[in-house]
C-alpha cells in the first residue's frame, strides 16, 4: 500500500518539496512537449484553429482518472491518502468564467505561462506579472469577496452520485465521451483545413480502442460505489499543519467526561461511512459522512465545540481541514480516533496492561456504563429514500410506503383521544404546546434548545431521523413543531400534506398500539438559533422600514377591530398577510396552497428571495406557518421570527402601535 | 515562424501529462498545480512591499511568515526547469513577444497583462487554475472542478472574438 506525503502529514517536509520539484519538471516537460510553450497555439483553440488544448487536457484527465481508479480500486492507494478539493458551486462557476476569459484574452494559463516564460516568451512573463497582480488584488479585496469565495459550499462532492452512477460507470462514460470528442476534434480540424491528419492512419482507432479497453478494466476495478473509507488509517492529514495554530485535538478521556456531563453545545460528529456508523458509534455522536460533512455541521458552525472522529485520524483531519477552509473555527479532532476511544475509554480496567488506580477504575466504569452498550443502530435513511427537498412536504402515499423504517419518526398532533382511538403505525402523540413555555416573563415562547432536545430525546428522535409531522385540522400545529426542529438545527423534517384528516379519508393503515420508543440523547444545540428576534429588533425594523414586518394574524386583529391583548392594532409599518390565506382546510384535510400560487402572492410583498422579513402573530403559533411557507416552501433566505409577537408588544406601553383609521 | 521540432502528438502528450498527474497523486497525495505557487509568490512580494499589512491580511496572512515554504512553490520552480529543458532539447527556445501579424506590441502587452490579472484573480476565487482545479480535480470527477472546467471553456469561447485582433490580421 502506498502512503502519500499528504496522507502522512509530511507535505511540508524537504522530501515532499524535492518530489514536488521533480514532478514539476515532468509537468513542465509534458506541457512543453505538447507545444504549450506558445500562446498562439493555446489561443488557437478558441478560434477552432488548433484543438490540441482540448485533446491534451481531455486525454490527461481520462488517463489520470483511470490511473487513479486502478490505484485505489486495487487497494494499492487508499483513498484517504488523497486530498480532495471541496466543491464551492458559486466560486467554481464564477472562477471558471473569469479564468476562461483571462485565458482567451492573454493566451496563457498559469502552468503554460511558466513553460512559455522558460522558453523565453516575453508575453508569458507579462502574463505571470499580471497573475501576481491578480492574486494581490484578490487578497486586498478578500474581506469583500469572502461571501463570494464561499458561495455554494458543498464539501467534497463527486459528480457521479448526482447522475445516479457508480464511479466505475461514470469513468467509462467519460472515456466514451473523450473518444467521441477526439474524433469530433479531428473531423472539425479537417473540415476547417487546419489539421485532422490523424483521421487517416491507424493511430486514432488504436488509441481510441486502447482507451476504451482501459476504461472497461477500470470499471471492473472500481470500488462500488464511490470511495470506501479505510478504517484504521493512522496519521493526520497533511494540510493540518498548515492551518493556523489554536486548533487542537481532544483526548478520548476528555471527550468521554464532557459527554458524560452532557455539556451543552458539544457536538460529536462521526465522519465514517453509513455502514460503519450503524455498526458502532460513540453514544450521542451524529453522523456526518465525509461528502456531506459541511451540510450536516452547518448549523453548528462557530457555535459550541465540534469534535470529529473517524476510525483513525486521516479522514477526520481531512474533514477538519475542509471545514476550516470554509470558515469553521470550532472543530477539534478526537486523538487517535475511534481506535483510541475504544482503547482508552471503553476498555475495561481488568483488561488494561497498565496499573489502574481505584479512582481511574471508577471513571472507566462510569464511562463503560454510559458508552459501552451501543445504542440501537439508528439506521439513517439513504438519501435516495428521502423526500426532497427537506424541510418540506410529504405525501400520504410516500409515508404509507415507508412505514416501519427505523429512521422515520412520525408525530401526531391531534388531540390525545383522537390519537388513542387510532393513529398511523409508529406515530407518537405530541401536544405542540408542550414545546412552549414562559420565557423571560413572556408566555407561549418556544422553549430553549436544551429543553427541546430533551423532548426530542423522549420521543426517541436522533439527528439522522426524518420527522414527519401530521397535523389534525391546523397546519400551524405542525409548523410550530417545525420551529422546534429548526431551533435544534434538525433539517430532516417534513409536514404531511393533508394531515391526519387526509390519512383517515384515504383509509390508510391505523393502529391503537403505542409505538416502542427507545429514548435517544438528542444533542443540545450550541447557543441560540439565528432566526428568532426580540422586540428591540422589531422596533428597529419598524423605524427603518427594513426588514419588512409581516403580521400574519386575521385582518380584523391587524386592523384593531378585535383584540385579545392589552392593546389593539398593529406594529407601525407592518403589512398584513393572514396565515389562513396560505392553506386550504376542508373535510379532505388541511393542505398548503400550490407553491406557484403562494409564490405569486408573496412576490407582491417580498420582491426577491433575499428580502429580509420578520413574521409575527399573537403568540408565534400562526407565524410559524408563514415562516415555513416563506423559508421552506418558497426559499426566502432571510426570514426572522418574532416569537413573542403581539402578546408581548401590546403589553409594553413604550412600544408604538397603530390602529386603522387613526 | 517555424520554431524547432513540431510538438508531440497531442494524445501521447496527454497520456504523458495524465501519468505525471497520477504520479503526483500517488506520491504527494495531491494533484498538479501552478497557480498555488504563483499565489505564494504574490504573497511574498506583497510582504516585501508591506510586511505588516500582508501579515494582517485575511487571505495571504494565513501563510505568513514562510510564504514560500509550500510544495506548490517547488512544483512551480520545477515547471520552469522542465519547460526550459524541453524547449532547449527541442530547439524551441525563441525569445520574443508572440503575436499575430499586424498586431502592435502594445496591444498584445495590454491583453496579456489583463488576461494574467483575470486569471490570477480567478485562480484564487476558485482555489486553482487549469491544472490544479480543472485537470487535477476533474480527474477525480469532483463536481466543482468539472463545473469550473466547463465554465472555463464556455467563457473562453464566448469572449475570444474580442481578442481576435492580436492573432489575426
Nearest to B83 among A28, A43, A107 (CB): A28
Phi-psi region of B127 (alpha: psi -120 to 50; beta: other; left: phi over 0): left
A652 φ, ψ to 5°?
-110, 100
Cβ contact A135–B111 (<8 Å): no
Q: Render pLDDT for A85-96 as a digit per residue (tens, 0 to 9).
A: 889 999 999 999
**Mean pLDDT computed over A524-539:** 88
Q: Render pLDDT for A378-398 as a digit per residue (tens, 0 to 9).
A: 455 655 677 778 899 999 999
Binning pLDDT at 50, 70 and 90, where does residue A241 land? very low
Number of other CB atoms surrounding residue A159 within 10 Å: 20
**CA B112 to each of CA A9, A42, A57, B107, B158: distance values in angstroms, whole numbers, following the listed order:** 38, 13, 22, 9, 18
Q: Which of A112-121, A244-253, B128-137 has the lowest mean pLDDT?
A: A244-253
For residue B8, the chain A residues in CB contact (below 8 A) are 33-35
Cβ contact A86–B114 (<8 Å): no
Q: Which residues contact A533 (CB under 8 A, 6 or more apart)?
A: A614, A640, A641, A642
Locate A482 and state its grid cell: 417545525
Nearest to A56 by CA among B135, B34, B151, B91: B135
Q: Render pLDDT for B26-77 as a digit per residue (tens, 0 to 9).
A: 999 999 999 999 999 999 999 999 998 998 888 898 888 889 999 999 999 9
Binning pLDDT at 50, 70 and 90, where does residue A364 land? confident
Say if the ipTM goes beyond 0.85. yes
d(CA A571, CA B135): 57
β-bridge mates for residue A575, sequence order? A550
Segment 287-306 of chain A within 8 Å of chain B by CB: none
Segment 323-362 of chain A within 8 Å of chain B by CB: none
Per-residue exposure over A359-372, b if at least 16 CB sit within 10 Å of its own CB, e if not: eeeebbeebbeebe
Assess A61–B contact: CB distance below 8 Å, yes or no. yes
Q: Render pLDDT for A282-314 as a digit per residue (tens, 0 to 9).
A: 888 888 888 788 888 887 877 788 999 988 777
What pLDDT is attached to residue A303?
78
- In A, minimum Cα distance to B109 occurs at A123
Q: Which of A198-212, A294-308, A485-499 has the lowest mean pLDDT?
A: A294-308
Cβ contact B144–A4 (<8 Å): no
Binning pLDDT at 50, 70 and 90, where does residue A133 land? very high
Q: Render pLDDT for A406-455 as a digit per residue (tens, 0 to 9).
A: 889 999 999 999 999 999 999 999 999 999 999 989 999 999 999 999 99
Calculate how close chain A gets to B4, using CA atoms only, in Å. Answer: 11
> Rounded mean pLDDT of chain A?
88
What pLDDT is attached to residue A372?
66
What pLDDT is attached to residue A352?
80
- Strands in A305-309's sheet, in edge-to-edge order, are A249-250, A331-334, A305-309, A266-270, A286-287
d(CA A390, CA B76): 45
d(CA A439, CA A448): 8
Answer yes or no: is pLDDT of A233 > 80: no
Binning pLDDT at 50, 70 and 90, where does residue B145 land? very high
Calculate how close chain A gets to B5, using CA atoms only, in Å. Answer: 10
Nearest to B83 among A46, A64, A115 (CB): A115
| A99 vs A386, more confident | A99
Entry pTM? 0.54
**Mean pLDDT computed over A193-216:** 93
Nearest to B11 among A55, A132, A157 (CB): A55
Which pairing describes strands A153-155 and A87-88: parallel, antiparallel, or unpaired? antiparallel
Cβ contact A129–B113 (<8 Å): yes
Complete DSSP assignment for A567-603: S-SB-TT-EE--GGGGEEEETTEEEEPPHHHHHHHHH
Q: Which of A9-23, A202-216, A351-365, B141-155 has the lowest mean pLDDT?
A: A351-365
Number of other CB atoms surrounding residue B104 within 10 Å: 11
| A481 vs A367, more confident | A481
Q: Which residues contact B69 (CB under 8 A, 6 or more apart)?
A: A12
What pLDDT is attached to residue A329?
79
- In A, minimum Cα distance to B2 occurs at A38
For residue B111, the chain A residues in CB contact (below 8 A) are 105-107
Give the best-scoring range by mean pLDDT among A248-252, A599-603, B6-10, B76-80. Answer: B76-80
Is residue A150 within 8 A of residue A91, CB to CB? The reply is: yes
Amino acid at each position: 500500500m502506498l502512503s502519500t506525503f499528504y496522507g502522512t502529514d509530511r507535505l511540508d517536509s524537504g522530501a515532499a518539496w524535492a518530489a514536488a520539484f521533480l514532478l514539476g519538471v515532468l509537468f513542465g516537460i509534458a506541457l512543453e512537449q505538447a507545444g504549450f510553450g506558445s500562446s498562439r497555439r493555446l489561443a488557437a483553440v478558441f478560434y477552432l484553429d488548433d484543438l490540441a488544448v482540448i485533446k491534451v487536457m481531455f486525454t490527461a484527465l481520462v488517463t489520470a482518472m483511470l490511473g487513479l481508479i486502478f490505484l485505489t480500486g486495487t487497494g494499492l492507494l487508499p483513498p484517504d491518502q488523497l486530498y480532495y478539493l471541496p466543491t464551492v458551486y458559486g466560486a467554481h462557476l464564477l472562477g471558471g468564467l473569469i479564468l476562461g476569459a483571462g485565458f482567451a484574452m492573454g493566451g496563457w494559463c498559469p502552468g503554460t505561462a511558466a513553460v512559455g516564460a522558460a522558453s523565453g516568451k516575453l508575453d508569458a512573463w507579462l502574463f505571470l506579472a499580471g497573475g501576481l497582480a491578480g492574486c494581490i488584488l484578490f487578497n486586498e479585496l478578500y474581506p469583500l469577496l469572502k461571501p463570494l469565495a464561499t458561495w455554494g459550499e458543498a464539501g467534497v462532492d463527486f459528480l457521479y452520485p448526482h447522475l445516479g452512477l457508480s464511479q466505475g460507470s461514470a469513468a467509462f462514460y467519460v472515456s466514451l465521451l473523450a473518444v467521441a470528442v477526439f474524433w469530433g476534434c479531428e473531423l472539425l480540424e479537417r473540415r476547417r483545413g487546419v489539421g485532422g491528419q490523424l483521421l487517416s492512419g491507424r493511430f486514432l482507432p488504436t488509441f481510441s480502442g486502447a482507451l476504451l479497453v482501459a476504461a472497461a478494466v477500470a470499471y471492473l476495478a472500481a470500488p462500488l460505489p464511490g470511495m470506501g473509507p479505510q478504517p484504521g488509517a493512522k496519521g493526520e492529514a497533511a494540510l493540518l499543519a498548515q492551518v493556523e495554530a489554536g486548533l487542537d485535538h481532544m483526548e478520548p478521556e476528555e471527550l468521554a467526561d464532557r459527554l458524560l456531563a452532557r455539556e451543552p453545545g458539544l457536538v460529536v460528529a462521526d465522519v465514517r461511512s453509513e455502514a460503519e456508523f450503524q455498526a458502532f458509534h460513540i453514544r450521542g455522536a451524529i453522523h456526518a459522512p465525509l461528502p456531506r460533512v459541511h451540510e450536516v455541521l452547518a448549523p453548528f458552525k462557530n457555535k459550541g465545540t465540534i469534535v470529529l472522529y473517524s476510525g483513525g485520524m486521516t479522514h477526520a483531519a481531512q474533514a477538519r481541514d475542509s471545514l476550516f477552509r470554509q470558515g469553521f473555527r470550532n472543530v477539534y479532532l478526537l486523538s487517535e480516533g475511534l481506535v483510541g476511544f475504544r482503547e482508552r475509554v471503553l476498555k475495561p480496567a481488568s483488561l488494561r496492561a497498565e496499573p489502574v488506580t481505584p479512582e481511574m477504575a471508577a471513571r472507566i466504569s462510569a464511562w463503560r456504563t454510559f458508552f459501552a452498550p451501543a445504542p440501537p443502530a439508528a439506521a439513517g435513511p439513504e438519501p435516495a429514500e428521502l423526500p426532497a427537498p427537506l424541510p418540506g412536504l410529504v405525501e400520504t402515499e410516500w409515508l404509507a410506503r415507508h412505514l416501519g423504517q427505523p429512521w422515520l419518526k412520525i408525530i401526531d398532533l391531534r388531540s390525545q383521544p383522537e390519537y388513542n382511538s387510532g393513529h398511523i403505525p409508529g406515530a407518537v402523540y405530541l401536544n405542540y404546546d408542550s414545546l412552549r413555555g414562559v420565557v423571560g416573563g413572556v408566555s407561549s415562547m418556544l422553549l430553549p434548545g436544551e429543553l427541546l432536545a430533551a423532548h426530542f430525546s423522549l420521543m426517541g428522535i436522533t439527528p439522522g431521523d426524518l420527522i414527519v409531522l401530521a397535523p389534525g385540522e391546523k397546519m400551524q400545529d405542525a409548523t410550530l413543531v417545525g420551529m422546534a426542529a429548526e431551533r435544534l438545527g434538525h433539517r430532516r423534517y417534513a409536514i404531511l400534506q393533508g394531515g391526519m384528516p387526509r390519512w383517515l379519508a384515504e383509509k390508510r393503515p391505523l393502529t391503537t398500539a403505542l409505538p416502542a420508543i427507545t429514548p435517544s440523547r438528542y444533542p443540545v444545540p450550541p447557543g441560540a438559533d439565528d432566526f428568532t428576534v426580540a422586540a428591540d429588533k422589531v422596533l428597529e425594523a419598524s423605524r427603518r422600514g427594513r426588514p419588512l414586518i409581516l403580521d400574519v394574524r386575521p385582518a380584523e386583529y391587524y386592523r384593531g377591530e378585535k383584540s385579545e391583548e392589552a392593546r389593539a392594532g398593529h406594529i407601525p409599518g407592518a403589512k398584513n398577510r393572514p396565515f389562513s390565506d396560505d392553506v386550504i382546510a376542508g373535510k379532505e384535510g388541511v393542505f398548503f396552497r400550490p407553491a406557484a400560487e403562494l409564490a405569486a402572492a408573496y412576490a407582491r410583498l417580498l420582491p426577491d428571495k433575499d428580502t429580509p422579513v420578520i413574521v409575527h402573530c399573537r403568540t408565534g403559533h400562526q407565524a410559524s406557518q408563514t415562516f415555513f411557507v416563506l423559508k421552506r416552501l418558497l426559499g426566502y433566505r432571510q426570514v426572522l421570527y418574532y416569537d413573542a409577537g403581539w402578546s408581548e408588544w401590546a403589553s409594553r406601553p413604550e412600544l408604538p402601535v397603530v390602529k386603522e383609521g387613526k | 515562424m517555424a520554431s524547432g521540432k513540431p510538438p508531440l502528438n497531442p494524445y501521447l502528450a496527454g497520456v504523458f501529462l495524465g501519468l505525471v498527474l497520477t504520479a503526483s497523486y500517488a506520491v504527494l497525495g495531491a494533484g498538479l498545480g501552478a497557480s498555488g505557487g504563483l499565489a505564494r509568490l504574490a504573497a511574498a512580494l506583497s510582504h516585501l512591499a508591506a510586511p505588516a499589512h500582508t501579515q494582517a491580511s485575511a487571505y495571504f496572512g494565513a501563510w505568513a511568515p514562510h510564504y514560500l515554504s509550500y510544495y506548490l512553490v517547488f512544483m512551480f520552480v520545477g515547471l520552469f526547469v522542465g519547460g526550459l529543458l524541453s524547449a532547449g532539447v527541442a530547439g524551441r527556445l525563441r525569445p520574443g513577444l508572440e503575436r499575430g501579424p499586424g498586431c502592435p506590441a502594445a496591444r498584445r502587452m495590454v491583453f496579456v497583462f489583463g488576461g494574467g490579472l483575470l486569471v490570477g484573480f480567478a485562480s484564487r476565487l476558485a482555489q486553482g487554475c487549469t491544472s490544479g482545479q480543472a485537470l487535477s480535480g476533474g480527474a477525480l470527477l469532483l463536481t466543482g472542478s468539472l463545473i469550473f472546467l466547463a465554465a472555463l471553456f464556455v467563457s473562453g469561447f464566448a469572449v475570444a472574438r474580442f481578442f481576435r485582433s492580436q492573432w489575426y490580421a
